[in-house]
Amino acid sequence: MSPEHSAPKPSDSDRRTRAGLIYGLAAYGLWGIMPIYFKWLQAVPAIDIVAHRIIWSLLVLGLLAWIGKAFTQIRSAIAHRKTLALLLLTSVLIGINWLLYVYAINSGHILAGSLGYYLNPLANILLGRFILKERLTKVQWAAVAIAGVGIAVLAAGALGTLWISLTLCFSFATYGLLRKIAHVESLPGLAIETAILFPLALGWLLMGGAESRPMFGTSGTETGLLMAAGVVSTVPLLCFTAAARRLRYATVGMLQFIAPTLQFLLAVAVFHEPFTTAHGIAFGCIWIALILYVGAMARGRRRPLAVQDS
């Protein structure tokens, strides 16, 4: 084939966007099925599960940092005062988010947790618009409005657990925004966040945890599940931060509808939480919004979707 007829090579921006989409799909797909894992640990208090998540995640991250030779980046981020301050804030936010998410699942409120993550994309889109100055087309604004109607219908029928949904939403939306603007890649940043939380987690478990249980579980199965928390927690979060640094924040927000949709399906089909008319209306609105947004994004390929590192 002659050079003039050869397919055009993808630009750096296109490759960056494609990689970001793959990372985003992986992150939200894994988060969508994560309730299954935490249901297996239902006998363990939520705060103890989160403590184990932190401890075992740090070991996994340390291994990944050694393999990827990321310790230089970690030292550089620690030496940068603004970056370290941002990571102190994000470590608190992700700790709160983890704790409340596990509590929601193991207390029978998977749907409330899902609502939080349905709210989160709207928060991401609005933060992207008003903080990062990302522009939206009229169709994309219409998609946001339609999704907002669906979520409002859900919220009206879930006022008793709305605090769970709102806290999950705003803690993770703010976490993602701060991680996007921090001058640190996903692996070094997550390693520093986890190291900040590590002393608190270890101290909590050494003191006996919430119910003075054995530190490593009451059975071999429970011990194995707790140790697996490092991989279960780290992989999707690394994928998320990698996606957030490569895509417009509004696009990250729309991808996030994948996770709560999977969680809804698990809650109803596997864990038999009730699926009401409000849920049906919300699903319809949210998926119409997603189709509109993605369609507008596809038609607007002339506009750059990828972002440069801050």
Is residue 274 very low, low, confident or very high in pLDDT (cuts 50, 70, 90)?
Answer: confident
DSSP symbol at 8? P
Residue 8 counted as domain residue: no
Q: Is residue 4 in a domain?
A: no
**What predicted TM-score, i.e. pTM, was given to this entire model?**
0.79
The number of folded domains in the chain is 1
Q: What is the pLDDT of residue 307?
A: 45
CA distance 298 to 279: 28
Q: Quick: pLDDT tens for 11-42.
A: 777 788 888 899 999 999 999 999 999 999 98
Amino acid letter, 145: A
Residue 307 lies in a domain: no
Predicted confidence (pLDDT) per residue in 185-234, tens digit: 889 999 999 999 999 999 999 998 887 778 887 888 999 999 998 889 88
Confidence of residue 6 (pLDDT cuts 50, 70, 90): low
Please write the tens of the pLDDT for every residue from 122-134. 787 788 888 878 7
Q: Containing H/E element for 26?
A: helix 12-40
Can you say whether residue 10 is alpha, beta or left, with left for phi > 0 and alpha for psi between -120 and 50 degrees? Answer: beta
Does the pLDDT of residue 99 top 90, yes or no?
A: yes
- Residue 101 has a CB neighbour count (10 Å cut-off) of 25
| Angle, in degrees to the nearest 10, between helices 277-299 and 110-130 | 30
pLDDT of residue 306: 46
- Which of 35-49, 121-135, 267-281, 286-300 is least confident? 286-300
Please give the residue range of the domain that contains residue 94: 13-299
Give a yes or no: residue 276 inside a domain.
yes
